[in-house]
Amino acid sequence: MAWCIANDLDFEGAKVFLPERFPFLEHTPLFDYRNNLEMQQQVLPPYVLDSVKHISNLPGRRFIKAHLPFRLLPQKIQDGSTKAKFVSDHSGVMFSSSGKPRKPTLTFFSSNTKT
């Protein structure tokens, strides 16, 4: 939904497979597919084989997903020289920390200045 809103409801562009247009930053560093590829002789898409390179080659604004803490994100995001939007759903965290389900909340954060 965030991608569609930011791209003027481009439903044709939204037909592109979600992981290709909105990839996980840490996908490749977390998983090593080399052994599986050798055994199964299959070809994986670039957003799986090298997610960081795939993201750097995306045209225009990039939409990425990450589970990294802020201090591990690229320096340009940390120092505010690049604009970033942060969307988080804290419902899982609230459930695990309090033991009671609460109404899900979305937090929006936009940073383009030094903090």
Q: What is the DSSP string of 3-61?
A: HHHHTTT-TTGGGS-HHHHS-BTTHHHH---HHHHHHHT----HHHH-HHHHHHT--SS
Of the listed 27, 54, 67, 90, which one is catalytic? 67
Annotated catalytic residue 27: no
What are the phi and psi torsion angles at 6 (to 5°)? -70, -20
Q: Which residues contact 4 (CB under 8 A, 6 or more apart)?
A: 10, 11, 14
- Which residues are annotated as catalytic? 67
